[in-house]
Amino acid sequence: MQTSQTGLALIKKYEGFSAKTYLCPARKPTIGYGHLIKTGEKFPPSGITEEVADDLLKQDVGVAENAINELVTAELTQNQFDALASFTYNLGAKSLEKSSLRRLLNQGEMELAAAEFPKWIFAGGTRQNGLVQRRKAEMRLFLA
C-alpha cells in the first residue's frame, strides 16, 4: 500500500514546514516537513523551498511505507495505513517494529492496537502536547 493524500496532509499538518534547519524536540537537526538531516546532507543556509521539502517528504514517506508493508501482516484499510504512515514517519521504523501496536495489529486486534497510539507522546524524554494531538488524530483516522 501507499500513503494517500489524506495521510500526507496529516503528516504535513503535524510536522509543519520549516525552510531552515532547526532542532526537533528530540534535539535532532531537521528541515522541511520533519526531514531528519542525515550525516553528509547539506542544505543552503538560506533554506529550502516547499518543492524541495515535498521531495524529501516523499522519500521519507517511502521509507515508512516500506516498513509498514514489511512489518504489518494484517490487512489494513487505507485510513489505517495512513495513520500508521504518520506514526512511522514521526517515530521511525524501529519504533513500529518493536511496538505493541504492531504486535496487536498482526494479531488482528485492531481496537487494542488503536489504543496504543496515545502512549507515544514523548520526545527527548518530555511529554509533547503536539504529539498528544497528533496521536489523537492518528487514532481517529485509524478507527475511521
Active-site annotation holds for 15: yes
92: alpha, beta or left? (left if phi > 0; alpha if psi -120 to 50): left
Residue range 108-126, pLDDT digits in tens: 999 999 999 999 999 888 8
Instruction: Give the predicted TM-score (pTM) of the model.
Output: 0.94
Residue range 53-91, pLDDT digits in tens: 999 999 999 999 999 999 999 999 999 999 999 999 999
Kindly report the number of other CB atoms within 10 A of residue 20's CB atom: 12
As a whole number of angstroms, the distance between CA 88 and CA 77 comes to 16
pLDDT at 102: 98
Residue range 2-58, pLDDT digits in tens: 999 999 999 999 999 999 999 988 889 999 999 999 999 999 999 999 999 999 999
As a whole number of angstroms, the distance between CA 24 and CA 124 comes to 9
What is the domain partition of the chain in residue ranges?
Answer: 5-143
CATH architecture of 5-143: Orthogonal Bundle (1.10)
As a whole number of angstroms, the distance between CA 133 and CA 108 comes to 25
pLDDT at 14: 96
Q: Which residue has the cell 496529516?
A: 10
pLDDT at 123: 85
Catalytic residue among 15, 65, 116, 138: 15
